[in-house]
A and B are shown apart, each in its own frame.
Chain A
Amino acid sequence: MITEISIMRTLLSILGITLVVGVNAIFVVWFERKVAGHMQYRLGPTEVGPAGLLQTVADGLKLVSKQIIFPQSADKPIFILAPIICLVPVFIALLPVPFSATWQAHELDMGLLLVIALGLLNTLGILLAGWGCDNKYALLGASRAVAQILAYKIPLLLCILPIILLAGTFSLREIVLVQEQSTWFALYQPVGFLIYLIAITLETNRSPFDFAEAESELVAGFHTEYSGMMFSLFFLAEYTYMLVASAIASILFLGGWLGPFFPGPVWMLIKIYFFLFLMMWFRWTFPRVRVDQMLSFGWKILLPISLLNFLITAGVMAAL
């Protein structure tokens, strides 16, 4: 039933999500640059704001003020649509994510399914970007993004299935509440946890699996031709996607907002940033995997192990 209160609530939560997305992007980009800098004997940003915290704001302002260049042979509607298609789904995917028992934009019975489904749209955005700008490097990058999608999505789903079996629900909020009764699912599903970690790195196109960008091979991959604000939309989408993936990971495996001493949202943020830090750590340590090696890695290692993991879980559950 639509009441005034529920409308207000929805509006407020959309505002909240926008705030979370914006602040998160500003902070995570700064955080990543700091982590990268210190891992490489550098300092990272130091000049703008305290400890360089406002560097991202300055960079954002620069990007916004820049001219957007349209390649002459680009397919203009697709060219413009692509970054939006990349950003909007990850934005919506934050709706069902609970930051505490009460801090949740919109409770959905099928929250997990929605997030998974929206995750797929990101690849569509990349494909459109690669196709629309009529650049060979971008096309190669986009085709790589599409080629890898099955290789990680199936293991990803096969890692989530045991969690659903354990929790008996698709609702993100209830999955956490089940963990409150027992314990973190990461302890039941260590293998699934590991594979999920690899799969979200793949899903967010992060190094060592950043073939779609692959700077040293494809210049900038699918966003080679994008400049200014449209480029920063891709950037925003990537970092928001990382946030969503980390949030889902902490909900599924590390008990979401559960934890002693601090209030729920703090724990949730701690867990999210733990995952974000892990992904940064991967990125600034490893070389890039080759595309065909990643595919065979996905099909020959991730898939059988996650399938085995699922079957064992299902067997044990049935026996109990």
Chain B
Amino acid sequence: MFESQTAPTYHLETVEEQENDFILNLGPQHPGTHGVLRVILHMDGEYILTADPVLGYGHRMQEKIAENMTWSQVLPYMARMDYLSALSYNQAWVCLVEKMCEYEVPRRAEYIRVLTTELNRISSHLLWFGAFLLDLGAFTPFLHAFEDRETLLDLLESLTGSRLTYCFFRFGGVGADVDAAFLRGAQDFVKQMHTKLPRYHELVTGNVIFRERTRDVGVILPFDTWGYGLSGPVLRGSGEQYDVRTSEPYSIYPELDFNVPVEQSGDCLARYLVRLNEIDESLKIIEQTLANMPEGPIKSKVPKIIKPPEGEASMAVETPRGELMIYAVSDGGKVPYRVKYRVPSFANLSIFSKMARGQLLADALAILGSLDLVIPEIDR
């Protein structure tokens, strides 16, 4: 309907910084960057010549912190990296240590882990949905998403005791058992989301303004994906069906029946659709775990002081933002010798300067929103 004019394309090599360039500092305090991200934009009117993200405003040196903590003390720090999917990070860390020490995990604990992680994934996607629309200038979807997220957070709070920075998983199990009220609440939530998701589509997906703002904006071509190491919905929007949950199944994921949503067009709309479809798939997983929840213990016996044997190991999980890999080296001691977090948003943001080149300022913010960045995770 509103055909946009073709944007002039610029190449990095041909653009030189000039004295009278219009330089715009997007951030670190800017309503569109969702956190302390700063992007230096060289602009020609409303068009962006180059974009250079400047990171580190929220840097806490998590990898060094981990070298000064015992293996179990690192656990609470996991939630502080990606605060929107704390349970995925919890899972990565406990699975890593369980792998190194060869601890057993009871089946009920595995079910609770997957159930809560998927709930957490939905809450993360809901928040992203709202924030993305906020970037596009629509305020109402944000609070509509928060309305549903509120139910979800209440539910998770009743189990884990916190609303956002969960520290719930334990080596060899989980921190608390689910009760009948929680299971009923989860069932009600699934029902509620099944009626609410079509509303989101009515309110946003079909909207002509939204479609024009996102279609063909910020296209990631398939041959860019592996050079930048993209993962998660950002990758799956470009047609690559890569999901750690299916490619390297951990926990009980191999027993579950779910699809990995993929879109081919690689633009903001594709990433949006992937995430909304992922909510659907997560609901499917939750329904299955609720139906098959086994009885039994929720925690196996593990020693109080954890000393993984000397060696190295890596563990990858699928967070709502993509692949999180933790690589740890143990020297047999009480503290990790080296921990490396490979975080999804970091790789996903690195392609931004390429995508933003030659785009309008408004589009750059749509792109930034569609990448689903969590800045503390990037800065670590």
A contact residues vs B (CB 8 Å cutoff): 36, 39-42, 136-137, 140, 143-144, 207-208, 210, 214-219, 284-294, 296-297, 300-301
Contact status B212-A290, CB under 8 Å: yes
Scan B49-64; emit 1 where CB is below 8 A from any A CB, else 0.
0000000000000000
Bound-state Cα–Cα, A216 to B362, Å: 9
Among residues of B, the one whose C-beta sits closest to the C-beta of A213 is: B137
The smallest beta-carbon distance between A222 and chain B, in angstroms, is 15
Q: Which of the candidate stretches B1-9, B185-193, B310-318 sits at the interface with the other chain?
A: B1-9
Contact status A296-B4, CB under 8 Å: yes
A287-B209 CB under 8 A given contacts A41-B147, A294-B2 = yes
Contact status B138-A288, CB under 8 Å: yes
Bound-state Cα–Cα, A218 to B32, Å: 9
Interface size on B, residues (CB 8 A): 36
Bound-state Cα–Cα, A218 to B212, Å: 20
Tell me which residues across on chain B come within 8 A of A208, comparing CB atoms.
137, 209
A286-B138 CB under 8 A given contacts A216-B32, A294-B2 = yes
The B1-47 residues at the A interface (CB cut-off 8 A) are: 1-5, 22, 24, 30-32, 45-46
Contact status B133-A287, CB under 8 Å: yes
Tell me which residues across on chain A come within 8 A of B365, comparing CB atoms.
216-217
B contact residues vs A (CB 8 Å cutoff): 1-5, 22, 24, 30-32, 45-46, 133-140, 142-144, 147, 203-204, 207, 209-210, 212-213, 360-363, 365
Bound-state Cα–Cα, A214 to B138, Å: 11
Contact status B212-A288, CB under 8 Å: no
Contact status B360-A287, CB under 8 Å: no
Does more than half of chain A's interface fall in helix, strand or loop, or is it mixed?
helix
The smallest beta-carbon distance between A174 and chain B, in angstroms, is 38
Contact status B4-A292, CB under 8 Å: yes
Tell me which residues across on chain B come within 8 A of A215, comparing CB atoms.
31, 137
A284-B139 CB under 8 A given contacts A140-B361, A290-B363, A296-B2 = yes
Bound-state Cα–Cα, A300 to B4, Å: 11
Among residues of A, the one whose C-beta sits closest to the C-beta of B32 is: A216
Bound-state Cα–Cα, A143 to B213, Å: 21
Tell me which residues across on chain B come within 8 A of A140, comparing CB atoms.
24, 46, 361
Among residues of B, the one whose C-beta sits closest to the C-beta of A289 is: B209
Question: Total A-B residue pairs with C-beta atoms closer than 8 Å?
Answer: 100
16 A-B residue pairs with Cβ-Cβ distance under 8 Å, sorted by A, are A40-B140, A140-B46, A140-B361, A208-B137, A210-B137, A214-B137, A216-B31, A216-B32, A285-B138, A286-B207, A286-B209, A287-B204, A290-B212, A290-B362, A296-B4, A300-B3
The smallest beta-carbon distance between A62 and chain B, in angstroms, is 21
Tell me which residues across on chain A come within 8 A of B24, comparing CB atoms.
136-137, 140
Tell me which residues across on chain B come within 8 A of A137, comparing CB atoms.
24
Bound-state Cα–Cα, A216 to B30, Å: 8
The smallest beta-carbon distance between B358 and chain A, in angstroms, is 13
Among residues of B, the one whose C-beta sits closest to the C-beta of A215 is: B31
Among residues of A, the one whose C-beta sits closest to the C-beta of B41 is: A136
Tell me which residues across on chain B come within 8 A of A219, comparing CB atoms.
30-31
Among residues of A, the one whose C-beta sits closest to the C-beta of B141 is: A287
The smallest beta-carbon distance between A199 and chain B, in angstroms, is 16
Among residues of B, the one whose C-beta sits closest to the C-beta of A39 is: B140
Contact status A291-B362, CB under 8 Å: yes
Bound-state Cα–Cα, A285 to B139, Å: 8
Contact status B361-A293, CB under 8 Å: no
Contact status B22-A136, CB under 8 Å: yes
The smallest beta-carbon distance between B368 and chain A, in angstroms, is 10
Bound-state Cα–Cα, A218 to B22, Å: 15
Contact status B140-A217, CB under 8 Å: no
Bound-state Cα–Cα, A207 to B138, Å: 9
Tell me which residues across on chain A come within 8 A of B142, comparing CB atoms.
40
